[in-house]
Amino acid sequence: MRATISSALNTLQDTICATLEVLDGRCHFREDLWSHPAGSGRTRVLQDGGLFERAGVNTSAVETDLPEGLARRLHVDPQRAFATGISLVLHPASPMVPTVHANFRYIELANGDFWFSGGADLTPWYLVERDAAQFHMTWKHVCDRHDLSWYPKFKKGCDEYFFLKHRGETRGIGGIFFDDLRGDRELLWHFVQDCGNSFLQSYVPIVERRRHDVWSERERSWQLLRRGRYVEFNLLYDRATAFGLETDGRAESVLISLPPLVRWDYQADPQPGSREAVLVAALRSPREWINTAPVISHAGG
């Protein structure tokens, strides 16, 4: 399965990058092929484009000894481990277009144990109910094709995982997240493939609806401020970041998930009743996004 999964993820990377280049309309991805004793990968980055301020779509396949601390967090004994995956983070320049993240990974241990992990989550800077519902509905359809219990389970897992404890809020409006998916390898791989092939469907329609929304310096400042929360999560809590750095992964590739520009302001709480306050309220009380009553937003719902 190792070669099969790695090859399929590289093909998925090609498909996603080709679509994103058309969507961006200005720039192409730069590709860096890298290798070290533990493995190799393809890092692709598009920066300062017509749509994306930074877009990173990476694949890798590595085999290494798990450090004792990392093995403890994975609840396994220290041993040889193989991991292959695709990870992408897209940071649009417009504050009206949400940032999105997705990753899908296969891990296999020397003792024969294995599991899949991954998911996709949306981080808007201004909340649009229609977009949130469409994103979640796409992932519900994917899950339902394989197991009707998975969407509510993985949606809850996403809300819990992407939670900044020190802020008391989620990083975004969620999606799905599965961290320890074991069972029939073939069946689970079909599900993960379905997820990967559904990513563009979950995100591109949102981009097409929001990319021409008007914004000013106020919205841009808010975007940069909220990006600070994104950085905080990735550096403090993200397990994939920790896994990559603690297994001697390529730091440039691991940290490509961070936005190129960000700011931190002291006590920058939004004005009550503002569009910014609406977003923060949603992040502090995760909710169901499917079949919610429509709400008029700055972008017309």
Backbone CA torsion sign across 25, 130, 88, 196: negative
| 49: in domain | yes
Residue for token digits 């040889």?
80
Range of the domain at 20: 2-284
**Chain mean pLDDT for the chain:** 92
Res. 297 pLDDT band, cuts 50 70 90: very low
**What is the CATH classification number for the domain harbouring 277?**
3.40.1500.10
| 292: in domain | no
| 262: in domain | yes
| 112: in domain | yes
Catalytic residue among 101, 136, 146, 298: 101
Q: Does 101 qualify as catalytic in the annotation?
A: yes
| 197: in domain | yes
pLDDT digits (tens, 9 = 90+) for 9-26: 999 999 999 999 999 999
| 298: in domain | no
Between 37 and 291, residue with greater pLDDT: 37
- Number of independent structural domains in the chain: 1
pLDDT digits (tens, 9 = 90+) for 183-214: 999 999 999 999 999 999 999 999 999 999 99
| Amino acid 249: pLDDT | 66
pLDDT value at 39 more than 80 = yes
| 293: in domain | no
Between 257 and 190, residue with greater pLDDT: 190
Determine the longest span between alpha carbons in the chain, in angstroms.
Answer: 55
164 pairs with which residues across the strands?
169
pLDDT value at 242 more than 60 = yes
| Amino acid 248: pLDDT | 65
Residue for token digits 């393809």?
42
Say what percent of the chain tops pLDDT 90: 79
| 299: in domain | no
CA 249/CA 269 separation, integer angstroms: 37
Contact 79, 71 (CB under 8 A): yes
